[in-house]
Each structure stands twice: as C-alpha cells, then as structure tokens.
Amino acid sequence: MSDFGVRTLVFPTDFSECSYHAGRTAAAIAGHFGARLHVLHVDPPVTAPAEPKQLAAAVADLGAGLGIVTATVAGIPARQICAYAGRVSADLIVMGTHGRTGISRAVLGSVSEAVVRSAACPVMTIPAAAPAWVPAPLVEPVLESQCVVCAVHSPDLICEDCRAIIRGEALEHTRSAERPRRVGLLR
C-alpha cells in the first residue's frame, strides 16, 4: 500500500466564486498538512489573459502562513492543470466545480471532469454549495485550572495538599499490604 501524504497541493483558479470557495478549502488542507500550495491560473485560448493582480488578490485571500507558489500558464485548462501538477509532482489537486449540467455542460464541458480523467494524482472537487473546510481549533491549555479532587484553585491537575494525602494513603496501603507477607516469610 503506497504512502499517502499531502506535501504539494495544486489549486487551479479561474477567479470565479466557486474557485474562491475551493481555495479556502485548499488553503485549509495545505495548512493542516504543512503542504506547499501552488495557486495556478490557466489562461484559456482566445480569451484575454488575466491580469497578474487578479492572481495576487486570489492569493491574498488565502491567508498568511502558507508556502504559496503562484503560476500562470496559457492553454487548454484541464490539460495545463494536469501538466502543471505533473511538473511539480503534486499530491493533490483541489478545485471547484461549477456543477454545470445539461446543455451548458455539453457545450462548455467541465474542466474538473477532464482533470479527474487525466490527472495522475488524487483530485478533490469542491462544489460551490459545499461549506468550506475549517480545521478544528487547537484545544488551548486552560490557564485557570482547579484541583480535580478538592476544586481549589491550583496550576496542577491535583493540588499540593491533595497529592500529599493521596501519596500518604498510597503508602499506608502498600505498607498494610506488605506487612502480613513479611511476617509470613519470617516464620
């Protein structure tokens, strides 16, 4: 069974609402696994190329503290996305789906479907309706703690007094448990 970890993540964006949505999930996953996030934009043929500041804005939305690489390539989106993922040996592609069906899907095609069909790595598709992936917050250590035995204010789980009592009781117990055995040995 091969190892599956996420070290390099590719997030292709067309600057649409649904890829914005997918970007948040991509950033959360990258953050969770400490993966490098490649934000890729593909300029489709015929259309005017996107302005560089659009990509910069899309990256700025993803939040700080991530290793982000941006790239813009021109060509057929699905093919370029797969080629790029192959070049950076991506472990995962996270992308949004417009969820087109019927005629618009037949005419416009679905980039995500084409990517799924030819990508060498796993692909995660995020529908526009799906809630963004938010990692569970880390549990912060409670600063104001109480002793679990007597509920007195204490930085320790069990306060000093209670610990002494417990220790004393434990000692008493072992002593009483050991005594008859020793007597037995002496006889």
Q: Which residues bind other proteins (CB under 8 A)?
A: 1-6, 25, 97, 99, 101, 105, 110, 112-113, 116-120, 122-127, 129-131, 133-136
CB of 118 to other proteins, least distance (A): 8
The residue (of 130 and 158) whose beta carbon lies closer to other proteins is: 130
Cα 62 from Cα 59, distance rounded (Å): 5
Look up residue 85 and give its amino acid.
Answer: A
> Which tokens belong to 133?
């992936």
- Is 29:92 a contact under the CB 8 Å cutoff? yes
CB of 181 to other proteins, least distance (A): 41
The residue (of 74 and 120) whose beta carbon lies closer to other proteins is: 120
What phi-psi label fits residue 6: left (phi over 0), alpha (psi between -120 and 50 degrees) or beta?
beta
Residue 43: strand, helix, or coil = strand
The residue (of 26 and 42) whose beta carbon lies closer to other proteins is: 26
CB of 177 to other proteins, least distance (A): 37
Cα 26 from Cα 92, distance rounded (Å): 9
The residue (of 13 and 97) whose beta carbon lies closer to other proteins is: 97
The residue (of 117 and 173) whose beta carbon lies closer to other proteins is: 117
CB of 54 to other proteins, least distance (A): 24
End-to-end CA, the chain: 63
CB of 40 to other proteins, least distance (A): 18
Kindly list the distances between the CA atom of residue 103 and the CA atoms of 11, 107, 111, in Å, as whole numbers in the listed order.
27, 6, 15
